[in-house]
Amino acid sequence: MPKPVSKLQPDEILKAEYEYIANTVFQANEDRSRVASFYFVSVGSIVAAILGTQFAHDNLRSVSLAFAMLFVILTVLGALTIAQLARLRAAWHESVEAMNQVKNFYIENHPEIAPAFKWRGKTIPPTDKPYSIANLIAVEVALLGALTTAAAAYFFLFIFGKIVLWGWAAILLAFILGYLILWIWYKHLLVDDR
Above 80 in pLDDT, residue 29?
no
Stretch 71-97: mean pLDDT: 89
d(CA 154, CA 58): 15
pLDDT at 44: 82
Reduced to 3 states (helix: H, G, I; strand: E, B; else coil), residue 81 is helix
Domain residue ranges of the chain, discontinuous segments joined by +:
11-189
Give residue 23's pLDDT band: very low, low, confident or very high (50, 70, 90): confident
d(CA 118, CA 193): 26
pTM: 0.77
Nearest by Cα to 88 from 141, 146, 15 = 141
Residues 148-185 have pLDDT tens digits of 999 999 999 988 888 888 989 999 999 999 999 999 99
